[in-house]
């Protein structure tokens, strides 16, 4: 092994930790052979629902060299978002990842700082940061770099910290020391499959996105199909059920990122108050949140669809 690759890789991982990332893993930038047929089957089965963008850039999703010319390494990072405090139990629910400031901007800043560090340490490195912003298979790259395995609910799982974290990447044109994948530790457990309110996990490791509550409350722009009305489990934005029931999440620890702390009103509102929310209050509570994606009208649609 080239000693400079080892040295640079260690420096990058140390800096990633300093910037607040849970962990950092590195894999070789190459075509994702195993993912290609899996993605093709999923798209052919229409499990992406109205997310037509999933059909675009098939090659780019699988080949990082088509995103960053001459790329040699994919640096994957995890950022914890597990909250210190939670919404009241008798409220309509919002996915924990959306409690605080939109993760896109928070992670992008940290990744830019990491790239700047790499360029300072190594020299003329060309690279690009990805936070859900381009056709990149985040979970596949994080798994390839040994930061966990993709669980039966199709989320990345880590024995150390569970699954309440964001995944992002830097794709760079410098060769580094590559990490090895870890083994799957789901075993015979089917907690996520059994608990999914809409039976969206159609078989282990396969999620029908068009049935997922996160899709129904965020991605779906048309009306939510009526047959889901008794299965929404009071979720008005996103859903955490498959993660909440996962035994590995007993190892989740609260994040230390102030930007992810929620607006106090988000935690205290009752169902009645959510039903009566005004556009002004929505704008105040979700000023910097990912919930803005669904807009005030979208949140209203979701709330009015929920059965008490």
* pLDDT averages per 10-residue partition of the chain, 308 residues: 86 97 97 82 75 69 89 97 95 97 94 96 93 84 96 96 97 96 97 98 93 95 94 97 98 96 94 96 94 94 91
229-to-30, 117, 202, 304 alpha-carbon distances in Å: 43, 50, 19, 10
Residue 27: its H or E element: strand 23-28
Q: Is 173 a catalytic residue?
A: no
pLDDT recorded at residue 18: 97
pLDDT recorded at residue 297: 96
Number of domains in the chain: 2
pLDDT recorded at residue 83: 97
pLDDT recorded at residue 144: 96
Annotated catalytic residue: which of 132, 138, 233, 244? 132
pTM of the model: 0.93
pLDDT recorded at residue 212: 96
Residue 93 resides in a domain: no
Q: Are residues 199 and 298 in the same domain?
A: yes
Q: Are residues 209 and 116 in the same domain?
A: no
Q: Are residues 22 and 113 in the same domain?
A: yes
Structural domain boundaries, residue 65: 3-85+99-172
| Beta-ladder partners of 150 | 156
Neighbours of 66 (CB within 10 A): 14
pLDDT recorded at residue 55: 65
pLDDT recorded at residue 57: 65
Residue 144: its H or E element: helix 138-144
Query: Which of 120, 139, 172 lies at the terminal end of a domain, its last residue?
Result: 172
pLDDT recorded at residue 136: 84
Q: Are residues 25 and 111 in the same domain?
A: yes
């Amino acid at each position: 092994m080239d000693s400079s690759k080892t040295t640079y890789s260690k420096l990058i991982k140390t800096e990633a930790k300093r910037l607040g990332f849970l962990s950092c893993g590195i894999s070789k930038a190459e075509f994702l052979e195993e993912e290609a047929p899996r993605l093709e089957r999923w798209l052919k089965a229409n499990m992406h629902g109205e997310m037509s963008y999933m059909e675009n850039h098939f090659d780019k999703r699988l080949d990082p060299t088509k995103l960053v010319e001459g790329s040699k390494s994919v640096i994957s990072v995890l950022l914890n978002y597990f909250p210190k405090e939670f919404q009241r139990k008798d409220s309509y629910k919002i996915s924990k990842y959306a409690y605080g400031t939109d993760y896109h901007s928070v992670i992008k800043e940290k990744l830019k700082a990491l790239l700047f560090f790499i360029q300072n340490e190594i020299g003329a490195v060309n690279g690009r940061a990805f936070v859900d912003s381009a056709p990149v298979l985040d979970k596949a790259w994080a798994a390839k770099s040994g930061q966990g395995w993709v669980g039966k609910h199709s989320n990345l799982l880590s024995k150390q910290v569970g699954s309440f974290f964001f995944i992002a990447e830097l794709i760079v044109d410098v060769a580094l020391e590559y990490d090895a994948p870890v083994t799957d530790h789901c075993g015979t457990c089917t907690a996520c499959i059994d608990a999914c309110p809409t039976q969206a996990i159609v078989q282990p490791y396969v999620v029908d996105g068009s049935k997922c509550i996160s899709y129904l409350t965020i991605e779906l722009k048309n009306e939510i199909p009526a047959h889901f009305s008794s299965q929404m489990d009071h979720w008005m934005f996103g859903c955490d059920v498959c993660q909440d029931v996962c035994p590995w999440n007993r190892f989740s620890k609260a994040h230390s990122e102030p930007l992810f702390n929620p607006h106090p009103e988000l935690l205290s509102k009752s169902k009645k108050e959510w039903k009566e929310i005004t556009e002004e209050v929505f704008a105040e509570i979700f000023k910097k949140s990912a919930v803005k994606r669904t807009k005030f009208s979208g949140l209203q649609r979701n709330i009015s669809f929920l059965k008490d």
